Amino acid sequence: MSNSPSQGTALITGASTGIGAVYADRLAKRSYDLILVARNEARLKALAARLMSETGRSVTALAADLSDKPGLAKVESILRDDQTITMLVNNAGVASVAPLLNASVEKMDDIIALNITALTRLTYAAAPAFVSRGAGKIINVASVVGISPETLNGVYGASKAYVLALSYSLQHELAAKGVRIQAVLPGATATEIWDKAGLPLKDLPASIVMSPEDMVDAALVGLDQGELVTIPGLHDGDEWTRFEATRRALSKRFGNAVPAPRYRIGASASADRARRRA
């Protein structure tokens, strides 16, 4: 049982099992009260009861389908109005391993609705509230496929690239306002998402599969260390540092009025057109 002061309330989506359930356990032990969101009410209530018994924290189970507008709106309202919430963990998501030509567009639409639309709306509900109080943390669980979209289904990879890009932008806009952003990029993690995506976990090489406990523990250390992007499975952190430095340097060289010489467009004609537009 914990008698330590509350760190506020963490709202965790996709909290009934896997990564979300481990976040719930670890954050309760870090003295956070919890609001746990998922579709499976029975699992949520069982987890909430266990965590309340083990930690003494306040834990609320909130059954909601975030791909359904009424369910999403209910959680958005809580994020806007509950002044105790100090952390949002955007963990809910769905995956696919199907090639483009074998994938149902309806399934792809489901991925977009949960991985992108719901995450965006919850972030937009939480961020202004955190800014108004001058403090808050938003943890976005993305994936390494966000920077390696060829690995699995393209829409799934694109949805996680969106999460990473949004996290960069949020950090850029909100860091000076007291809001911490972290994007977590797990690799293969031992959760139910694989079976649901059509690739049984048992078919993956054991050498690449991380436990959700190790993944979340590493992510929370990354949060403590102030990382914007945390990749638990990348052993050489300097590789990411170099990648980031190259990306940022390259982004400064995109803006030119004249196309690059490799496109063989007359430089003088391009310059004339640029002058006429000015």
- Spatial CB neighbours of 154, under 8 Å, sequence gap ≥ 6: 100
Inter-residue contact 11 to 75 (CB < 8 Å)? yes
- Between CA 244 and CA 223 the distance in angstroms is 18
- The three-class DSSP label of residue 137 is strand
- Spatial CB neighbours of 89, under 8 Å, sequence gap ≥ 6: 10, 11, 12, 13, 15, 20, 23, 27, 139, 141
Q: Roughly what angle, to the nearest 10 degrees, separates helices 212-224 and 18-29? A: 50
* pLDDT above 60 (res 220): yes
Inter-residue contact 178 to 189 (CB < 8 Å)? no
C-alpha distances in Å from residue 181, one per residue of 54, 177, 226, 228, 230:
29, 11, 9, 6, 11
- The three-class DSSP label of residue 240 is helix
- Residue 65 in tokens: 């389908």
- Between CA 120 and CA 251 the distance in angstroms is 24
- Between CA 133 and CA 51 the distance in angstroms is 28
Q: Whose CA is closest to 77, among 124, 23, 138?
A: 124
Q: Known catalytic residues?
A: 156
Residue range 64-118, pLDDT digits in tens? 999 999 999 999 999 999 999 999 999 999 988 888 888 899 999 999 999 999 9
Q: What percent of the chain has pLDDT over 90?
A: 79
Q: In what order do the strands lie in the sheet with 9-13?
A: 59-63, 33-38, 9-13, 85-90, 136-141, 179-184, 229-230
* pLDDT above 60 (res 1): no
* pLDDT above 90 (res 59): yes
Pick left, alpha or beta for residue 16 (phi over 0 → left; psi -120 to 50 → alpha; otherwise beta). alpha
- Quick one: fold of 9-235? Rossmann fold (3.40.50)
Q: Whose CA is closest to 131, among 166, 170, 168?
A: 170
pLDDT for 191: 87
Q: What percent of the chain has pLDDT over 70?
A: 95
Inter-residue contact 230 to 222 (CB < 8 Å)? yes
* pLDDT above 90 (res 272): no
Across all residues in the chain, what is the average pLDDT? 93
141, burial (CB in 10 Å: exposed 0-12, middle 13-18, buried 19+): buried
- Between CA 213 and CA 151 the distance in angstroms is 24
- Please list the alpha-helical segments (H only) found in the chain: 18-29, 41-55, 69-81, 105-111, 119-133, 154-174, 193-197, 212-224, 237-251, 267-277
pLDDT for 203: 84
